[in-house]
Amino acid sequence: MDRNNWGRINELFEAARRLPVEEREAWVRGATSDERTRAEVLSLLHAHEDDPWFVDEPSRPGVTPSGFRPTPSGSRATPSAPRPAPRGSWPTPPALGPAPPASRPALQARFAELPAGSLFASYRTVREIGRGSMGVVYEAVGEGQGLHQRVTLRLLPREWNTLALADRFFAESDLLARLDHPWIARLVDVGVAEDGTPYLVMEQVSGEAIDTWCRDRHLDERDRVTLVLRVCAALEHAHQRLVLHRDLSPRNIVVTADGQPALLNCGIATLGIDEPDTGEGLMGADPSLFTIGYASPEQIRGEPLTTASDVYSLGVLLYVLLTDHPPYAVGGLSPRQMRDTICQAEPERPSRIVAAPRRRVLANELDHVLLKALRKDPNTRYHSVTALAADLRAWLDGRPVSSWPATPWYRARKFVHRHKAAAIAVAAVVLVMAGAAAAIGWQAYQTRLGLKHAEGRLREVLRSSRLLQLELHDAIRGLPGSTAARQLLLGRAAETMDALAKDAGDNRAIGLELAEDYLSLGHLQESSAGDIPDARTAALTSYGSAVTFGEQALEAEPRSMNAAILLTVAYADVANTRLETGDRDGADRADARHLALVEQLARDHPRDPRARAAVASGYGRLGVFRAGRKDRVAAKSRYGSAIAEFERLASEGAIPDEALRDYSRAQQQLGAILLQDDVLDEAERLYLSAQAIEKDLAARRPQDPALRHEMAGSVNALALIAGRRGDVAKAEALWTQALAAMQAALAADPKDTRALAGVADIRMSLARALLDLVEVSPPGPSRRARLREAGALIALAAPVARGAAASSAAQQDTVAEVERQTARLRRLMVQRR
């Protein structure tokens, strides 16, 4: 259509949408005789009726532009990988009046009927496999270009042939096309046939249902858990690409002849979730959309789904595989009874429903793992498939599982179980040495008893205090309403530490331990500064005590490497905390002492890898402080010194594992300055190097939330670099990846305000990239889909940015960006082709 005609189309649309719904079509037909103009105006009106925000400013909380309810982990991301090229196009819809919302798409849909041997698009049907509200499924063979691949051909309802649903269809199929995993059946093709029938083509995988496979081969519990771990790996791949399976059940998980699992129909149910609400949640929907016995309570109720829903379904599957019984008996029940059973009834402990020989295997750890995966509240389940898989691997390896209370006795028992021979040998040696020590050292013990008893008791209390600070605080940190308890706990810990310090007097033998514990307490206090009043002030006091005892230890032993290393960290914390609280003079004094200690370490221990790594880390922290003081030249110099020393250590293979994090951070921080200076090539090199280190660390520490922040930061910076170079498509792909990483951090800790702000920032960056693509994209569904996706991202980012701006000046920039991109979005919607 001639672009100049869009002014007329927009004029008619704006006038028509102000009329009552029932009068719009007749008015449009009388206002223009041009059939193509009339069809476009009616198409826009239908889209507007489906989603009024399509043009208006978002005002409905909880609803995104395409009618999707956003999950806690965020909005859909625009796919970065190319989807299979459609073999047809969405024709202009007929000029029909808007159908009632409950009938689009209709439950009684009309499907193409294809006898065996029929040719559809480039596929010849073999047999019909099944049918439901989402269409008819055939086994077929691909023809043309010498290809004869067996596939599964799904014909979707013809009622989906509208522009509004086209955007949805192609956007969702874009996500599915990005799934590329050996244990997931791939999306092969997607398109619209000449008769207007939308279709999807999936790779066909031959095999047996996973429950049948395990039962027929009499697999033991370990083999069944190992097989489920492979399913977890495939599901993790899908979740990382923002795809939920929604129907994890034996009918969608087969095992091939070589013993490998395959996920079928991954994400396909997403295309059919807009069924009309019957008042029964999903109980009134077509059962072909999901398997009732494996659906989560929130799925049964028709609520927004997160990865926790797939975790629940995976828990049901594992329960069935390990017990040969479902956790609930729903056969023969009415829909209402099924709903009540799944949403309210608690499953029986698995070990209680199996025969005696298997009971011992399931009791304890596996019982706890399964029951945690099946909790009714998604917030109390495993937060991800990765976490569930970690516990299953721990069970296989004989290590403690996270769902079992982590008592010292439990951990000791698991350790001895894993290392029986070594434990027996060590016990024998300890007994012999204990006997010898008792005989030889009795006299000396008697003379030193008083002093050693006091020092030993002090060390014991120190260890208890450390346990209280680290383990108990972390255990309750994620619990709702735990702020007051954490504040009390940290206050008591500080009082205990002060009492211990007073009892120690000038006993320098434990001075360094006191310094370490004060430093640890300060880090806990500072990490709570966002939700506990005066936590930063308390942290500064703890850092000061760490400095006091560390300096005493260094005075007693001037060349003590341990004391010097601890003090470099403590002074860096003091300097940065004082700078944040406005005490610039105090910050500068701490920074000067920090620099002197780093230089002293370099002089006193020039060949020790641990000391050299501490020097490199120290220069990195010095750079952070100079950057905070807006001294970019000094910051670049110190970051450069840090990276140079780390590179020398790396060339020697001598970087300690605990220093790798500081290495990647120094590269990120210098890269950020170079990015501001538009030195793109060097910035990109640094971020790619940092990203490689982060990926290696993430493989070892998948649950580290701070590491997720840093990984998302590297990807975000690489996206900015791509955008600066004009490669908007690459920037879009990278921002989508960064958003997934930051959303994973937020899912792990929904109260993490830094992750929440990070998600908002990346959403805005991704929205900007999408709008850049819109400005250069040709007419068609892809352009409209990008407009909708950008609008959704802006709508989700706006409230977070405005809320954060009240407490963070840095977020003012994001608020301004929200306003700029909102204005740009409106302009592009009015001008859309």
- Inform me whether the pLDDT recorded for 68 exceeds 60: no
- Look at 64-68, 274-278, 501-505 and tell me which has the smallest mean pLDDT: 64-68
C-beta separation of 120 from 136 below 8 A: no
**Residue 677 CB coordination number (10 Å):** 12
CA distance 30 to 15: 13
Model pLDDT, residue 803 = 64
According to DSSP, residue 278 is labeled -
CA distance 822 to 274: 27
- Inform me whether the pLDDT recorded for 410 exceeds 70: no
Closest CA to 212 of 156, 256, 182: 256
Model pLDDT, residue 442 = 37
Model pLDDT, residue 619 = 96
Task: Return the percentage of the chain with pLDDT > 90, whole number.
Answer: 26
Per-residue pLDDT tens digits for 632-641: 999 999 999 9
Looking at residues 266-294, what average pLDDT do you find? 55
More confident residue, 92 or 765: 765
Model pLDDT, residue 603 = 93
- Inform me whether the pLDDT recorded for 416 exceeds 50: no
Model pLDDT, residue 240 = 79
3-state secondary structure (DSSP) of residue 143: coil
Model pLDDT, residue 136 = 87
Say how many Å lie between the first and final Cα of the chain, rounded: 8
Burial label for 122, CB within 10 Å (0-12, 13-18, 19+), is: middle
Model pLDDT, residue 544 = 93
Model pLDDT, residue 53 = 36
More confident residue, 107 or 401: 401
3-state secondary structure (DSSP) of residue 255: strand
- Inform me whether the pLDDT recorded for 780 exceeds 60: yes
Q: Which range scores top for mean pLDDT: 89-93, 186-190, 626-630?
A: 626-630
Per-residue pLDDT tens digits for 216-264: 999 989 999 999 999 999 998 888 777 888 889 998 999 998 899 999 8
Closest CA to 381 of 747, 705, 754: 747
Per-residue pLDDT tens digits for 568-584: 999 999 999 999 889 99
Looking at residues 661-688, what average pLDDT do you find? 93
Model pLDDT, residue 102 = 34
More confident residue, 545 or 827: 545
What length does the chain have?
A: 833
DSSP conformation letters of 483-498: HHHHHHHHHHHHHHHH
Per-residue pLDDT tens digits for 339-374: 889 998 899 998 888 887 788 888 778 888 999 999
Model pLDDT, residue 529 = 65
Closest CA to 46 of 164, 159, 158: 164
Model pLDDT, residue 213 = 93
pLDDT class of 593 with cuts at 50, 70, 90: very high
**Residue 150 CB coordination number (10 Å):** 13
DSSP conformation letters of 47-109: HHHH-GGGTSPP--TT--TTSPPPBTTBPPPPP-SPPPPPSS--PPPP--PPPPGGGSS-SS-
Model pLDDT, residue 813 = 65
Model pLDDT, residue 662 = 93
Model pLDDT, residue 451 = 39
pTM tops 0.85: no
Per-residue pLDDT tens digits for 711-723: 888 998 999 899 8
Model pLDDT, residue 760 = 82
Per-residue pLDDT tens digits for 148-170: 578 889 888 766 655 556 656 66
Model pLDDT, residue 599 = 94
Model pLDDT, residue 285 = 42
**Start-end of H helices in 631-727:** 632-651, 660-676, 680-700, 705-724
CA distance 687 to 672: 9
More confident residue, 409 or 794: 794
Task: Spell 178-205 as b/e; 16+ CB within 10 A means b.
Answer: bbebebbbbbbbbbbeeeebbbbbbebb
Per-residue pLDDT tens digits for 33-49: 877 778 777 876 775 56
The residue written with tokens 């596996």 in the block is 366
**Start-end of H helices in 269-407:** 297-300, 307-323, 335-344, 356-362, 365-373, 385-397
Looking at residues 196-204, what average pLDDT do you find? 85
Per-residue pLDDT tens digits for 388-397: 998 898 888 8
Per-residue pLDDT tens digits for 449-507: 343 444 454 555 555 455 445 555 555 555 555 556 666 777 777 777 787 777 666 66
Model pLDDT, residue 476 = 52
* Mean of the per-residue pLDDT values of the chain: 75
Model pLDDT, residue 134 = 67
Task: Return the percentage of the chain with pLDDT > 70, whole number.
Answer: 70
- Inform me whether the pLDDT recorded for 97 exceeds 50: no
Tokens of 535: 């936590």
